[in-house]
Amino acid sequence: MNLFAGLEHVVQQDVLLSPYNSLRIGGNAAYFAVPTSHSELQAVVQQARAANLSVRVLGHGANVVIPSSGWAGLVIQLSAPEFTGVAVNGNRMTAGGGANLAHFVSLAAREGFKGPEQLVGIPGTIGGALHVNTSTNGGNIGAWVKQATVLTAAGDVLIREHHEMNFSYRQSSLNELAIVAAEFEFEREASEQVLRRMQKLWIVRKAKQPMLDEPCAYVFKDHGGSTATQVLTKAGVQGLKSGHVEVSDRDPNFFVARQGATSSDFLDLVQKTKQQVQDRSGLELELAVDVW
Ligand SMILES: Cc1cc2nc3c(=O)[nH]c(=O)nc-3n(C[C@H](O)[C@H](O)[C@H](O)COP(=O)(O)OP(=O)(O)OC[C@H]3O[C@@H](n4cnc5c(N)ncnc54)[C@H](O)[C@@H]3O)c2cc1C
């Protein structure tokens, strides 16, 4: 039986997911769709629902751990041009759910929009960033969003206005199946100043942490008044490894995957580091990364 009749040009079967995430781990998705229009996206979701398939949307995979056994349902990626555009309109920017966060950040800085430069160097998409409220100690993406267009698991398109959305530290009320587009509003500043700040932040970040120059993930949430990096450093987790995954020697809140790494290696290392933190400081760290 063809589950995606009429959508064969956008849905592939048995697609390896490891090339689609920052850890380069993960088995096959039973189905993998890259819709090219809103109507195709809706149709794919509706047909998956009719077939009882579990559906996940994948951005750039910078915040997911995908099992080495794969994903038995449908994975959708909003990487077609219909979903990746970014545009400026007065003090506002609009972006597709699949738009590159780095592109959004540099365009905002060139415009003299204040705030997004704080997210420089963070990999991912606008949809992924809004889903987890991507943040640094200088700001979070939820602070600037005015409106979001989302698609529910039933295939309905809804508009979420500013007052209907809530964002807190690495949490967002935007938990529908897909964030398809969003509109943001910013205050302005001289663009030279914003660009200078962005460059400085980029240099500091690049010196202190892995930046996708190796397969890696940002693992734990900050805890209380301390960053996860501080908590992990204090617990002395540097040097720990499980199988082919190891704690980064540049920043312990990044785990680096070596050739042959599996999702079990990653999760074993999560347990080991959590345990060491618990034993040495009594704190219980929470995962930032989303385990599928
Ligand atoms: C080197 C590195 C540095 C990082 N630094 C930071 C940092 O400083 N601060 C920080 O907060 N994070 C950081 N991260 C984590 C990550 O970059 C962010 O969480 C980013 O926003 C993930 O975006 P993504 O598109 O890759 O999402 P994915 O990893 O693809 O997805 C993450 C979650 O969002 C969901 N999702 C993705 N797209 C959509 C969509 N369109 N609609 C609905 N749901 C969607 C997915 O189903 C998944 O549950 C870092 C990661 C790496 C590898």
CATH number of the domain to which 59 belongs: 3.30.43.10
Question: Do residues 30 and 54 share a domain?
Answer: yes
Q: How far is the CA of 134 from the centre of ligand 1 (A)?
A: 7
Q: pLDDT band at 191, cuts 50/70/90?
A: very high
Q: What average pLDDT does range 276-282 have in this prediction? A: 97
Residue 111: partners with Cβ closer than 8 Å, 6 or more residues away: 88, 93, 186, 188, 191
For residue 94, the domain's CATH number is: 3.30.465.10
Question: Do residues 147 and 229 share a domain?
Answer: no
Residue 109 counted as domain residue:
yes
pLDDT score for 56: 98
Ligand 1 pocket test target in 23, 79, 132, 229 with most atoms within 8 Å of CB: 132
Q: Which of 131, 165, 193 lies at the terminal end of a domain, its last residue?
A: 193
pLDDT tens-digit readout, 34-88: 999 999 999 999 999 999 999 999 999 999 999 999 999 999 999 999 999 999 9
Question: Do residues 224 and 181 share a domain?
Answer: no
Q: What average pLDDT does range 10-24 have in this prediction? A: 98
pLDDT tens-digit readout, 195-238: 999 999 999 999 999 988 999 999 999 998 899 999 999 999 99
Ligand 1 pocket test target in 198, 218, 221, 290 with most atoms within 8 Å of CB: 218
Q: Which of 80, 97, 117 lies at the terminal end of a domain, its last residue?
A: 80
Question: Do residues 236 and 184 share a domain?
Answer: no
Q: How far is the CA of 155 from the centre of ligand 1 (A)?
A: 23
Residue 144: partners with Cβ closer than 8 Å, 6 or more residues away: 115, 116, 184, 185, 186
Residue 215: partners with Cβ closer than 8 Å, 6 or more residues away: 22, 23, 24, 25, 256, 257, 258, 261
Residue 241 counted as domain residue:
yes
In whole angstroms, give the CA distance from residue 190 to residue 211: 28
Question: Do residues 164 and 147 share a domain?
Answer: yes
- Quote the domain boundaries for residue 283: 211-291
Ligand 1 pocket test target in 131, 209, 255 with most atoms within 8 Å of CB: 131
pLDDT score for 224: 84
What's the token pair of residue 155? Answer: 């295939």
Atom 9 of ligand 1, residue of closest alpha carbon: 135
Question: Do residues 120 and 188 share a domain?
Answer: yes
Residue 204 counted as domain residue:
no
| Whole-number percent of the chain with pLDDT over 90 | 97
Position in ligand 1 atom list of the atom nearest CA 133: 11
Ligand 1 pocket test target in 17, 56, 63 with most atoms within 8 Å of CB: 63
For residue 252, the domain's CATH number is: 3.90.78.10
Residue 201 counted as domain residue:
no
Number of domains in the chain: 3
Question: Do residues 175 and 238 share a domain?
Answer: no
Residue 269 counted as domain residue:
yes
pLDDT score for 238: 96
Question: Do residues 145 and 230 share a domain?
Answer: no
Question: Do residues 216 and 189 share a domain?
Answer: no
pLDDT score for 2: 78
Position in ligand 1 atom list of the atom nearest CA 290: 49
Q: How far is the CA of 128 from the centre of ligand 1 (A)?
A: 5
Phi, psi dihedral angles at 203 (to 5 degrees) = -65, -45
Is the pLDDT at 110 greater than 80? The verdict is yes
Question: Do residues 74 and 89 share a domain?
Answer: no
Q: How far is the CA of 279 from the centre of ligand 1 (A)?
A: 30
pLDDT tens-digit readout, 177-190: 999 999 999 999 99
Q: How far is the CA of 153 from the centre of ligand 1 (A)?
A: 20
Q: How far is the CA of 132 from the centre of ligand 1 (A)?
A: 7
- Find the residues whose C-beta lies inside 6 A of ligand 1: 22, 56-64, 78, 97, 122-125, 127-129, 131-132, 134-136, 178-179, 210-212, 216-218, 290
The CA distances from residue 125 to 99, 154, 261, 265, in Å, are 5, 23, 25, 26
Give the number of other Cβ atoms within 10 Å of residue 122's Cβ. 20
pLDDT score for 1: 52
Question: Do residues 48 and 67 share a domain?
Answer: yes
Average pLDDT, rounded, for the chain = 97
Here the contacts of 229-237 (C-beta below 8 Å, separation 24 or greater) are: 229/253, 231/277, 231/281, 231/283, 231/285, 232/273, 232/277, 232/285, 234/280, 234/281, 235/273, 235/276, 235/277, 235/279, 235/280, 235/281, 236/276, 236/280, 237/272, 237/273, 237/276, 237/277
Q: How far is the CA of 237 from the centre of ligand 1 (A)?
A: 24
Residue 206 counted as domain residue:
no
Q: What average pLDDT does range 104-115 have in this prediction? A: 98
pLDDT tens-digit readout, 136-156: 999 999 999 999 999 999 999
Residue 154 counted as domain residue:
yes
pLDDT score for 212: 87
Question: Do residues 187 and 109 share a domain?
Answer: yes
Q: Which of 50, 80, 110 lies at the terminal end of a domain, its last residue?
A: 80
Residue 260 counted as domain residue:
yes
